Structure 1
Amino acid sequence: MKSTLSWPKSPACSRPAGQAEREAETIMPGFTHLQTAQPVTFGHHLLAWFEMLSRDYERLVDCASAPTACRWAAPHWPVPPTDRPRTDLQAAGLRGRGRQLAGRRSDRDFAIEFCAAASVAMMHLSRFSEELVLWTSAQFQFIDLPDRFCTGSSIMPQKKNPDVPELVRGKTGRVFGALTGLLTLMKGQPLAYNKDNQEDKEPLFDAADTCATRCVPLPT
């Protein structure tokens, strides 16, 4: 998950802000309901995406700071107190073992929170990708995507299809599915631990990989 938190340091988050400054006086039509509305600047439009990506980063940082009490190698219900050293927990960046182990050990709210934050981030990337698809179309002709992000048609080689934005838009459903899967996994479990929880890894890791590795590099 640490790869996710490097997001704002990557061009995916910083590029819109720099480009917005360069395009501060570039006039473009603003849209509401996908209908032409009042004139705006391209820089102002790009800053909206920067703000959304920044909020996504803040949500992911909050997720990273949430599960800081150790839940491993702990019983599900109370045991007599021991004097085991806690230096190993401190070295791992954990605050302690937690005050109520049954609630921590049997829950996967930290994974659900991450997938929720990743879903919002992917929703924003999907909207951004949709604008790229629209803006490259003959009806808009606002931008021209580099060839490395596009392919031609099998029967119409003059076409330039925006494949990469479409693929990012499609990956969004995959992350949404991970969130839905985890919520469904947990919804019927009584306290405390149940073997159902073994199914949490695949959606969690897939959401992290899809969001942080496969989709975030798009705007670079």
Structure 2
Amino acid sequence: MTSSHHLHAIAAAHSIREARRRLEVLAAAEATTAPDVPDGLRSTVYGQRHAAGGHADPTATLTTERRRARVTTWAERLTRLNDRLAGIADMYRLPPGADPLQRIHTALPGLHGRPLGLLALHLADEDELARGWINQPPYRTRIPGECPGCRRRECLEVTTVGPATTRTVVCVADCRHTPDCPCPGGVEGVRHIWPRGAVAGAAPTRPKHRP
């Protein structure tokens, strides 16, 4: 049976993949507009005067100015994300591969217990980091229905990324599994999460990202 740890990890992995796609688009666009001259180097041909006075020859007097504040590029963020994911995959000694996120995703079904719970937390952190860079809220949308855990209404959200068969529902009231919770696959103390088909009304006809 798929546990809540599995569902949280899979949902985070799909969310990271979507955010990474956006980072790749931004990095590619940035590469086509990036200036050729490195930060801190500027020719006096643009009207800048030499310390001795008068306009200097632009070839002979290319001067190094005080470096401007460093701006982190999208490509650097993308590299950082992939490096962090590779670090997680290596920490769990997962089979090698070109894409660290795919390494993790492929290994998820075979992980259980505490290692899986920790991995789900790591992926949640990376998901928040990646979405924070692009100012993207969680890839979820509100749906009608009652939480089968806490019985509250208007507090269910369904994921909007990843294959339809892997979409999940969470309760944004932050209710968690308890020892007497009737929810199948629940892990005590872990936030409620279910496969989309397990919750009534969890299949909106036109999923939209939450504004």
The normalised TM-score by structure 1 is 0.31
Give 1 or 2: higher helix fraction: 1
The normalised TM-score by structure 2 is 0.32
